[in-house]
Structure 1
Amino acid sequence: MSRKAILALLLAALTLTAGCSFLAPNPESYSSTYDYSVGVDATGTLEDVTIRVPLPQVDGETVVDADVVAPNGTVEAFDATVVETAYGPMLELTADEFVVETRYYRFVEEDGLGRREEISESEYDPSNPNHQRVDQRTVRVHVTQEATYPIETRTPVGESPTFYPAATRELADCRVPYQDETACFDYDAPVYLSYDAPADARVSGSIMLTGSNEWFAGGWTGNSYTDHVTFRVTGPRDGWIVANGTTETGRGNYPSPEP
């Protein structure tokens, strides 16, 4: 065999070996997580409040317990616990009173950094673009929990935790198309709202779960699915409502490597 042929074979072998090392994940280079968040906004004071929103579940069991969402049993102004309902385990938020007061702020810059500071009503100037009036109160909670790799993200319903796995999901247009693997589904999502409130008080909520796989193969990449429930109502409430549910599946890169 000629010297050039031997050199060509060595280069080919080196390229193949380097390519395999570059592309294949090692045991430390992949992970899976669940991200769960709840947000509630109100523009008026609520009294005698009970709100129940979905928790991610699979086979009737939640993967995010109350001690993870609310380690001390509270989420800001609410007491928080997990309750069983006809729709599976849900996060229950309760309060004797959820006070909403108008607050005023101004934006200031110091040393090249901007920040917002609260001011009095008398200091507030509605014509000043650096002044802000806030007529609502917002409560947010967000937790991240590690999961066993890999999470099923293309067909998660029944395989991975979702909201309302028994709900009838109908194929819908995705707001942001990604690639051929991505699909979106709409469904009815029961949420329990009970409180006294002014007739013009608006209450809205956003509950989201994202299951993600990540791995390193010459750069970080991954795939995910998202389940999202939203509602917006006005005035007092006393019972179950039908919120909007959307499940987005197959976002990211496929196939994912096996550990």
Structure 2
Amino acid sequence: MSRQYLLAVLLAALTLTAGCSFLAPNPDSYTSTYDYSVGVDATGTLEDVTVRVPLPQVDGDPVVEANAVAPNGTVEGFDAAVVETEYGPMLELTAAEFVVETRYFRFVEEDGLGRREEINESAYDPSNPDHHKREGRTVSVSVTRTATYPIETRAPVGESPTFFPAATRELTDCRAPYRDETACFDYRAPVYLSYESAESARVSGSVSFTGSNEWFAGGWTGNSYSDRVRFAVTGPRDEWIVANGTTEVGRGNYPSPER
């Protein structure tokens, strides 16, 4: 065997090894995460408040704990706890009073830069386009958890955590175009609201959960699914309402089996 032939074989082996390393990255470069977030908005003061929103679950067990959402037991004026309901585990937010105060601002420009500055009500001029007021208050919280790789993201319902896994989901159009694997589903989602308020007070909220896989193969890439529940009502409430649920699956890249 000539030295030239042996050198060619060694170079070919090195090239194949490098190629395999690129196509099949080290397991340490794989990560999976869950992200859960809750946001509640009110345009008027609420009294004797109870709000229950869904938690991501598998087989009836929540994958996010109350102490993860609210380490000290509270979220911006709300006490937080996980409660069992007829619809499964939910995050319960309670407060004797949730005060919403009108705040006044003016737009100020200095050295070519603009900023918003809070002012007193007495300085507020409704006819001044640089003046505006805000009648509302927002509470929000988010939690990220590391998950075991890989998360099932193409068909997560029943396999990976979702809101209301037993809900009837109907195929619908996605709001944004993605790859062929992406599909979106609508469903009816129960949310409990109980509070006293002015008839004009509007309360809205959004609860979302995302499961994501990421890996490095010549650059970071990945895939994910998401579940979101939205609601909006006006006036006092003491009831379960039907909110809008949307599940989006199969977003991102999916390597072919031979890779």
Give the TM-score of the pair, scaled to structure 1: 0.91
Q: Residues of 2 paired with 1:256 and 1:90: CA distance?
A: 38
| 2:161 aligned residue | 161
Shift of 1:117: 3.8
CA separation of 1:11 and 1:190: change in aligned 2, threshold 3 A: same
Using the TM superposition, give the Cα deviation of residue 65 of structure 1 relative to its aligned residue in structure 2, in angstroms. Answer: 0.4
Deviation at 1:166, TM superposition (A): 0.5
Aligned: 1:150 with 2:157: no
1:222–1:256 contact (8 Å) kept in structure 2: no
**Change in CA separation of 1:250 and 1:112 when aligned onto 2, cut-off 3 Å:** farther
Equivalent position amino acid for 2:223 in 1: N
Q: Aligned-pair distance for 1:21?
A: 1.6
Matches of 1:110 and 1:19, distance apart in 2: 56
Q: Deviations over 1:211-246 (max 9, x none)?
A: 000111110000000000000101011110000000
- CA drift at 1:24: 1.9
Counterpart of 1:255?
A: 255
Establish whether residue 197 from structure 1 lines up as the match of residue 197 from structure 2. yes
Mark the runs of 5 or more structure 2 residues left unpaired by the alignment: none
Match of 1:177 in 2: 177
- What is the match of residue 89 of structure 2? 89
1:99 is aligned to: 99
Distance change (3 Å), C-alpha of 1:23 and 1:117:
farther
Preserved contact between residue 73 and residue 79 of structure 1 (Cα < 8 Å): yes
Match of 1:245? 245
Secondary structure in structure 2 of the residue aligned to 1:28? helix
Counterpart of 2:213 in structure 1 is 213
Q: Count the aligned residue pairs.
A: 257
SS at 2:27 equivalent: coil
How far apart are residue 2 of structure 1 and its match?
Answer: 8.3
In structure 2, distance between residues paired with 1:114 and 1:92: 40
Using the alignment, how far apart are the partners of 2:77 and 2:226 within structure 1?
27
Percent identical residues: 81
For normalisation by structure 2, the TM-score amounts to 0.91
Distance 1:5 1:117, change over 3 A: farther
Over 3 Å counting, the alpha-carbon distance change for 1:238 and 1:124 in structure 2 is same
CA-atom RMSD, angstroms? 2.3
Match of 1:187 in 2: 187
